[in-house]
Amino acid sequence: MNLENQPTSPIRATKDKTVFEPDYETKQKWLSTRKIPHHANSVHLPGFYQDKTSSVDGILFWSAFMIELLVSFFILFGGLQKRDFIMKVFAVSDVILLISLDLIGAFLVHKMKGKYCFLDNKILVDKSNSHAISLQRKKGKGYAIVGVIVIIISAILKAVGVLLFTKIRMTVFVILLIVYAFIVYVHIEHTGYYWAGKWFRKRFNKQRDEFALAKEQNHHSDFEAEIREHKILTNVNLEIDLQNPITVNNHKLLFLKESPEKYDYKLITTGVMEDAEIFIFVGGKTPEQQKVISEELLKHQVLFIHQRSAEIGAGQKK
């Protein structure tokens, strides 16, 4: 088991000019992207630095959006055929408002995803503050509830608009209600992830390109990776040779020394350590060893990389 309850401060905070690391705002957007939890043997990771936003999210969003545009066209066309000016205004307002409501609702549903991702992971590595973290986790749920309500109201009003401004058979209308139920599902489960992934990748790629250009021109970049270290004290032998540390890309897990009933190790990371790299670190280890390594690496992600980046970012704004 791990003998340390809380990690100590990193031993050093130097930079590596050859490795890219995005800023805190980009890391925060990263947390808002879709995650796939990993539960295998003794490794239980909710998902942190990973982006599993897929083309399915985009396909479903644009399919729902195109259906809404098509139906909105019929509502608008039918409304403009009405002699009553107020009905024409209502038809135009209905179309503009309802499309806006869907996007606003989807934004509210997704608004707290990044924060929840951080807290769901932090509660696993900061057990002494688990109660306070649980209380934080309960805050903000109102945004998602309001978002769902807005999306449902939007669907209902669109259905009313179809009845008022178009002439369709009841069987077609029933089918349309089923389609609107599908659209509600898409905006709740996929729209937020689609846009979160899109915005994250755009910002990430822009910063990576700026870093590459600065590196090519031998200039300083704000996106040079930070080297972070912390020691791991455990009574589990991780079976890491003194002369042969576990190395995964820009990160290393080293054996330091053995003393009675405990083992000292050091984790050194350069830049962001992604979830996929944690899976490589634990590969070939026993379930007990996997548990210690995955917990320590997750702790490093959450407290040393993400939380430290937040603290540095807050200090720079002062």
Task: Tell me the domain boundaries of the chain.
Answer: 14-51+224-317, 55-189
Contacts of 306 (CB under 8 A, 6+ apart): 24, 27, 31, 48, 118
> What integer pLDDT is reported at residue 251 of this predicted model?
96
DSSP 148-181: HHHHHHHHHHHHHHHHHH----HHHHHHHHHHHH
Q: Check residue 312 and give its pLDDT.
A: 63
- Residue 171 confidence (pLDDT): 86
* Residues in the chain, overall count: 318
Task: Determine the pLDDT at residue 98.
Answer: 74
pLDDT for 166 equals 75
Which own/partner contact pairs does 181-187 have at CB distance under 8 Å and 24+ positions apart?
181/155, 182/64, 183/64, 183/67, 183/68, 183/102, 183/155, 184/151, 184/152, 184/155, 186/60, 186/61, 186/63, 186/64, 187/64, 187/102, 187/105, 187/106, 187/109, 187/151
pLDDT for res 58: 95
pLDDT tens for the chain, residues 1 to 318: 554 444 444 444 589 999 999 999 999 999 999 999 988 777 889 999 999 988 999 999 999 999 888 887 877 777 666 677 766 776 776 677 777 888 999 999 999 999 999 999 999 998 888 889 888 888 888 899 999 999 999 888 888 877 777 777 888 888 888 998 999 999 999 999 999 999 999 999 999 999 999 999 999 999 999 999 989 999 999 999 888 999 999 999 999 998 888 999 999 999 999 999 999 999 889 999 999 999 999 999 999 889 877 776 555 554
Q: From its phi and psi, is residue 277 left (phi > 0), alpha (psi between -120 and 50) or beta?
A: alpha
